[in-house]
Structure 1
Amino acid sequence: MDAPPFPAAAIASACAAVKDYLRMANGTDDAAVTAAVQTALALGEAFTGTAWIARQWQAWLARSPDWQRLPVAPVTAIGAVETVDAAGTATALPVTAYTIDLDARGEGWVRLAPSTVPARVRVTFVAGTAPGWDNLPPPLAQGVVLLAAHLLEARGDASVPPAAVVAFWRPWRRLQLMAGARRQCWSS
């Protein structure tokens, strides 16, 4: 699944936190710090199975009248549900053609009406634990800072990242233990 890019403001704030942690002067290795922060954020989201910084995602639904779970959580809003033809032209589905739901775990669900049999259906939604870096829970943010600092300091080494990173992130980890009757859709 390709995640959308992190907002520039979140990256800038995270880079400032890493530079502060490493006591780096402004302008020093900006490109390397940015790459390390983006990598640390992406690895953190992958490890926990959640989106951390809120941003817009897209997912494609299978042709099915069953409930389909959106591939990223926590979902804060489900926006457009639209058909996309072979030429790439999107047309909004009427609200009678689908049902949406946000459950207590923050997972988003979409169900197409049985009479709806479009070729492809795309759902646009917003998912993320926090609206920006400054609102990210401290353990998640500290894990990003530690991992990014490790990536910068151990360039070229085969050293192991600090165990504290996993300790910070593990309580936030979501695991999908079993699939129910609901189906999961895929994202683009």
Structure 2
Amino acid sequence: MREGLVLVRDEVVTPGASLEELKHYLRISGNAEDGLLDGLLKSATALCEQFVGQWLIIGEARETVRADGSWQRLSATPVVAILGGEAVAPDGGAEVLPADAYAIDIDAAGDGWVRARPLDGRRVLAVRYRAGMAEDADGLPEAIRHGIVRLAAENFAAREGETASPPAVVGALWRPWRRMRLA
């Protein structure tokens, strides 16, 4: 992320696979481990998002960018909607900007872009937007969901103090969706 600018995800990470999928994979029928398994799914989902460089489940974000007249790329991808912008002063006070005070674009790769006229008083532009690959886990590609289940299962198996090492197949399952940017 760019220095001095902030991205805030409005929701907690939603698991990219269902608890039932993981329990079926592990052949667990009871509910005693549900809390642990849910946490492992969330952790595996967060690691998947870091690996592929994209949000999996669509969620809302608020990000501050420079308002200097140049195009600024939003951090989360793929962007599905840009909801609006506010001018934020150093003291935290915010003022909704009219639509003609800034420009927005979402390119074919799913990158969101914003450009605001320079704002007075060292204010920055706070942009609200939605990003993610799918509305819910069922909308994700099967390979991504299966990789999340495999990683969560590996961590579940290593809960006795063993060191979990991600199976190579997990990276292979996720690699087709990996987005990398050159700095």
TM-score range, shorter chain: 0.7 to 0.9
After the TM superposition, which residues 1-188 of structure 1 pair with which residues of structure 2 at under 5 Å, given as runs?
3=9, 4-7=11-14, 10=15, 14-86=18-90, 88-114=92-118, 116-117=119-120, 119-155=123-159, 156-178=161-183
Deviation for aligned residue 1:23: 1.3
Higher relative contact order (CA 8 A, sep 6+): 1
Q: What is the distance in 2 between the residues matched to 1:70 and 1:86? A: 20
Q: What is the distance in 2 between the residues matched to 1:120 and 1:134? A: 37
Q: What is the distance in 2 between the residues matched to 1:56 and 1:16? A: 26
Secondary structure of the 2:18 match is helix
1:50–1:72 Cα contact (<8 Å) kept? yes
Scaled by the length of structure 2, what TM-score is found? Answer: 0.87
1:65–1:112 Cα contact (<8 Å) kept? yes
Q: What is the distance in 1 between the residues matched to 2:123 and 2:111? A: 25
Scaled by the length of structure 1, what TM-score is found? Answer: 0.85
Please list the CA deviations of residues 58-108 of structure 1 after superposition, one character each: whole Å capped at 9, or x if unmatched.
111123211000001100000020123455443211111100000010000
Please list the CA deviations of residues 117-151 of structure 1 after superposition, one character each: whole Å capped at 9, or x if unmatched.
35132111100001101111101000000001111
Q: What is the distance in 1 between the residues matched to 2:123 and 2:88? A: 7
Aligned match of 2:3: none
| 1:2/1:42 CA distance change after superposition, 3 Å | farther
Secondary structure of the 1:59 match is strand
1:83–1:122 Cα contact (<8 Å) kept? yes
Q: Which amino acid aligns with 2:12?
A: P
Q: Which amino acid aligns with 2:137?
A: W
Root mean square deviation of aligned Cα: 1.8
| 1:83/1:14 CA distance change after superposition, 3 Å | same
Q: What is the distance in 2 between the residues matched to 1:48 and 1:2? A: 19
Q: Which amino acid aligns with 1:29?
A: E
Q: Which amino acid aligns with 2:39?
A: A
146-155 or 20-29, which moves further after superposition? 20-29
Q: Which amino acid aligns with 1:16?
A: E
Aligned match of 1:185: none
What is the number of residues matched between the two proteins?
Answer: 174
